[in-house]
Structure 1
Amino acid sequence: MFRARHLFNRTPFNVAVRKSQPSGCQRSPFELPLQSKFRWSYLWYGSILALGISTGLGARHFAAPLGLPEPGSRDDALILQSLNADIDKLDIVKELRKKSYSVHSDVPLSSAAGVEVPKAWVEIDLGKREVEEGGLLGVMSGTRGLGVQRAFWNAETREMVAVVWIGGGLSGWPSVAHGGAIATIFEEAMARMARGPDGNIEQVHRPTSMKVTYAKPTYSLDFYVLRASFANPNLPQTEPLPEPEAEPTKSWLSWLSPQKDMTKKSEPGQLVEIVGTLESVKGELCVRAKGTFAAPAITS
């Protein structure tokens, strides 16, 4: 009786039924989303890379200067003809021509025939001889370099004013003139001042030192005004000539050259400074320069 009651009153035992699945059908619920995420990330990175390359190539295309014609080519001659017309229209060129004689073959004298008007300024061909002989300015000639210049020299005040074109071939950064090219322009102008308006520029007329200070960027493909003058303009003219010395006695070292014979060494000559500035056509200061020359190299 007790056993029968126990069997009827006990709690039924429920057996959990597990459904087995084949091992090949088991998949992680996160597998498909991870693969999709990886694929989208690769697509995103590829798009960013393509966009960066396209932007860089586009910026390089638009920032690069226009095609520069070869010096002496037909395109270069046409552009130089246009630049010559533009530089003659500048106010500073017009004002200086009113105060000077012109030595350009393509620019007629403004004075009437038979009338002599005293003028302090004279217009010179800056670097024409050097261009013909393949000097520094010859290498930098053409539209890409120093295509056209108008230079004026005042023999009384011993100063020079030059309007120069700085072409795209003289750029260091895109559309910004290279500092070395600007220093070369100053050196050539100051060497011309040291030599005088006429004659060949030799090594003796080169500066012993050159200091250039860049105040602001100088952009290429534009005209600039170069002004240069002697720090002490009266020194080369007022310096008295040395008195002739008596003929020295011959020594046993007379066969030596002055470079090797220390007894023939002269005292170092006095140095002369030439200061200059480079300005935009609007009068904005871009560069300052100072060159030092040996006094014997200065000629009137």
Structure 2
Amino acid sequence: MFAFGSRRVLQSRLGLATLQPQALCRRAIPVSRSASTAAPEVVPRPSRWRRYSRYLSIVCRLGFCGVGLFAGWIAVDFVSLRYMPQVPGTSFDSLKLKSILADYESEPPVVKALREDPYYIEADVYGNYTEEEKLQRLSSGPLGGSRGLALQKIFYNDRAKTVVNYAYLGLGLEGWPTIVHGGLLATVMDENLARVAIRHFPERTAVTANLQLQYRRPVSSNKFYTFHATLDEGRSTDRKAWVNGEVRDAKGNVCVEATGLFVVPKDYKLQEVGDRF
């Protein structure tokens, strides 16, 4: 009986020994699929939108650069044309002069009122002079061009013994930055006062004997101003003329007051200026 029991135990142990190698082999050797039955590996294709978006971004960058360069070019031209003095005779100077004349022809309130008054006669400055003679004059020669006295339009009123000069004062006439030089204002005022005196004298000529100015307000450059002159008939004779004047801005504010004395000299003969001075 002992032998029978021991034999059973031994058989059970031998059976376990024979089963373990098979189990180990089953676990160690993986079951491989056949190449014909395995699913093919999917390789993702590149997206067309990603490729197109790259091209689109390049085009947008180039477009923005072009727009920026064009806007910068326009801005430089605008600033140069409006806020920088231009050399006379250049293309920018011509464009600026055309712009100033267009502003005048648009008839600002002052110009419109003068044109509607039947007693005022409109004329260009220095109408009695040739183009060559204008180059020899201070205000139409060295001070000409868009950076100087770019425009002067004269309105005569012989009935009131008054002359109005509608003038543009350019950037090149500054003393302090943005402020027109006081000497320039005295020059333009002297000539405008003289227009009244010359039209008063039978000789149609005169020289300045005395000029006094009082500066009330600053006069800005790159703007239009009116220079007014009126004969003081009570103090004037055929050989002496007292003339009062003012410089006014677009709102009518008085910026400069002036008084001038003009005479016809006896010792030497002056060239006749004429009615369009």
Counterpart Cα distance in 2 of 1:132 and 1:286: 33
Aligned counterpart, 1:154: 157
Give the 3-state SS of the residue equivalent to 1:217 in structure 2. Answer: coil
Aligned to 1:127: 126
Counterpart of 2:138? 136
CA distance in 2, matches of 1:81, 1:150: 15
Q: Is 2:102 the partner of 1:85? A: yes
Name 1:216's counterpart in structure 2: 217
In 1: Cα distance, 2:102 partner to 2:234 partner: 34
Which residue identity is paired with 2:114? L
Per the alignment, residue 38 of structure 2 pairs with none
Aligned to 1:288: 257
Q: Show CA shifts across 1:153-194 (max 9, x none).
A: 011111011211111111000000000000000111122222
1:230-258 CA distance string (max 9 Å, x none): 1117955xx6xxxxxxxxxxxxxxxxxxx
Compute the RMSD of aligned alpha carbons: 2.9
Structure 2 CA distance, aligned partners of 1:131 and 1:149? 15
For structure 1, the 5+ residue unaligned runs are 1-61, 100-118, 240-268
Q: Match of 1:98, as an amino acid?
A: E
Corresponding residue for residue 233 of structure 2: 232
Aligned-residue offset at 1:208: 0.6
1:274-293 deviation per Cα after TM superposition (whole angstroms, max 9, x unaligned): 11000100111110111101
Could you tell me how far 1:222 is from its partner in structure 2?
Answer: 0.6
Q: Deviations over 1:40-64 (max 9, x none)?
A: xxxxxxxxxxxxxxxxxxxxxx9xx
Distance change in 2, residues 1:158/1:279 (3 Å) = same
8 Å contact 2:197–2:241 — kept in the other structure? no
How has the CA–CA distance of structure 1 residues 272 and 85 changed in structure 2, closer, same or farther, with 3 Å as cutoff? same
* Length-normalised TM-score, structure 2: 0.59
Residue 127 (structure 1) shift: 3.0
CA shift digits 1:185-238 (9 cap, x unpaired): 0111122222239xx98xx522111101100111111111111101117955xx
Give distance in 2, aligned partners of 1:156 and 1:82: 33
Q: Answer 1 or 2: which has greater helix percent.
A: 2
Q: 1:176 to 1:72 in 2, by over 3 A?
A: same
| Aligned: 1:165 with 2:168 | yes
Distance change (3 Å), C-alpha of 1:222 and 1:291: same
**Distance (Å, rounded) in 1 between the aligned partners of 2:158 and 2:122:** 11
Aligned equivalents of 1:181, 1:162: Cα separation in 2: 14
Alignment partner, residue 97 of structure 1: 115
Distance 1:159 1:74 in 2: 37
- SS in structure 2 of the partner of residue 163 of structure 1: strand
Runs of 4+ in 1 over 4 A off after TM superposition: 233-236, 295-300
Deviations 1:39-92 (A, max 9, x none): xxxxxxxxxxxxxxxxxxxxxxx9xx9431111222111111111111232111
Q: Tell me: CA distance 1:234–1:288, structure 2 relative to 1, closer, same or farther (3 Å).
A: closer
* CA shift for structure 1 position 299: 8.2
Residue of structure 1 equivalent to 2:245: 276
Q: TM-score, normalised to structure 1's length?
A: 0.55
Distance 1:153 1:207, change over 3 A: same
Residue identity in the other structure for 1:166: L
Give yes or no for contact 2:206–2:264 (8 Å, CA) kept in 1: no
Identity of aligned residues (%): 30
Cα distance between partner residues in 2 of 1:127 and 1:228: 17
Unaligned 5+ residue runs, structure 2? 1-78
Larger Rg: 2
Q: Conserved in 2, the CA contact under 8 Å of 1:130 and 1:137?
A: no
Q: Check whether the contact 2:180–2:220 (CA below 8 A) recurs between aligned residues.
A: yes
